[in-house]
Amino acid sequence: MPALRCGTVRKAVLRSEIIDDPVKFDALTPHWWKLWEQSSSATPFQSPAWLVPWWRAFAPGELATVAVWRGGDLVGLAPLYLEHGTAGSKLLPVGISLSDYLDILAVRDIEAAVVATIAETICSVGWSQWILSDLPQNSAGLTIAHPGLTVERPVIHAACPVLAVAGDDTLAGCVPARRRRQLRRARQAASRRGRLALASARGDQNFLNQLIRLHQARWVGHGGGVLADPAVQHFHGLSLPLLDAHGLVRCWLLAIDGTTVAAYYGFHHRGRAYAYLGGLDPAYAEESPGAILIGHAIAESIREDAREFDFLRGQEAYKYGWGAVDRWTMRRIWTRS
């Protein structure tokens, strides 16, 4: 990487640097957690428990992450990497593809100054196109501007259906009556096959093994699903325990007569629950074990005072049956002026 990228850019009391060494990227973790807690648009997908394992598992290019400091405090972070190709180098977000939300992180009270510093610093990196996708509506990334950059208009990227949760764990305050009736019938059908047992699971390898088994079973004949990829399995094996250690994961298993037939992997953070991945045994499909687990996860989110239940990226029909409404993420592209 050219030496010019290792220089610093000062703006007010801020100091920036380009992190291109994976060891230094890992070493940001304790500072990163503090910044993540102070960033208004932070989700579990921007935490070091998610993005550091992502880089360890995939490392698809050359790190070019911008870190912004105020004294000894990390106050801004743009986790980025370079993907080199014949048409030039693209600057992309660490976590792309598997992450439903991406953004730069900035301390709230100096967000504008941090964003300006990131934009100024990134101009010293050798790239032809900078792409940020999966940006939430309140994204700091949508505010990036610099005289040296030409920006395309933000475009809609993906729908993340979201349910506004309310009421109590009967779900009567937020889930349509039709879906609640279907849920009662599913529980009755499952009970006829044996004793139902819903259990909270630790975010560890034992849970992950169950999730992988059931997710792949669900997608037999359809490519095996995202967890068919050994690299993705490795990534989740690294990230899940770290997320669990910070209280972010919500893992549930459903057993019928002692047989585990469905798994749910989600998150909970700042009053929002996220439904990330699931799996089920097709032999129990008529009992709708996946729906039983989602209903349970929504009820648990209400008990934890969540305001929203986010079904995350994708417009699968079942999400709307729960009453979810589309919330769109954005994509923005910059080129050199």
- Give the pLDDT confidence of 41-65 residue by residue, as tens digits: 999 999 999 999 999 999 999 999 9
Say yes or no: do domains 3-158+329-336 and 162-310 share a fold: yes
159 neighbors 328 (Cβ within 8 angstroms): yes
**165-186 average pLDDT score:** 97
Residue type, 163: L
Q: Strand, coil or helix: what is 46?
A: helix
315 neighbors 325 (Cβ within 8 angstroms): no
Please report the pLDDT score of residue 289 as a whole number. Answer: 97
Helix (H) or strand (E) holding 54: helix 48-58
Please report the pLDDT score of residue 3 as a whole number. Answer: 39
How many angstroms separate the Cα of 249 from the Cα of each of 36, 162, 267, 300?
16, 18, 4, 13
Categorize the per-residue pLDDT at 153 as very low, low, confident or very high, splitting at 50, 70 and 90: confident
Give the distance from CA 72 to its chain's centroid.
Answer: 28
Please report the pLDDT score of residue 335 as a whole number. Answer: 95
209 neighbors 217 (Cβ within 8 angstroms): no
Please report the pLDDT score of residue 10 as a whole number. Answer: 44
**99-121 average pLDDT score:** 97
Give the distance from CA 220 to its chain's centroid.
Answer: 25
Q: What pTM, to 2 d.p., does this model score? A: 0.93
- Among 3.40.630.30, 3.40.50.1010, 2.60.40.10, 2.30.30.40, name the CATH number for the domain at 3-158+329-336: 3.40.630.30
In angstroms, the CA 218 to CA 225 distance is: 8
89 neighbors 128 (Cβ within 8 angstroms): yes
Residue 10 has a CB neighbour count (10 Å cut-off) of 10
Please name the fold of domain 162-310: Aminopeptidase (3.40.630)
Please report the pLDDT score of residue 298 as a whole number. Answer: 99
Residue 7 has a CB neighbour count (10 Å cut-off) of 11
Domain range summary for the chain, segments of one domain joined by +: 3-158+329-336, 162-310
Please report the pLDDT score of residue 325 as a whole number. Answer: 99
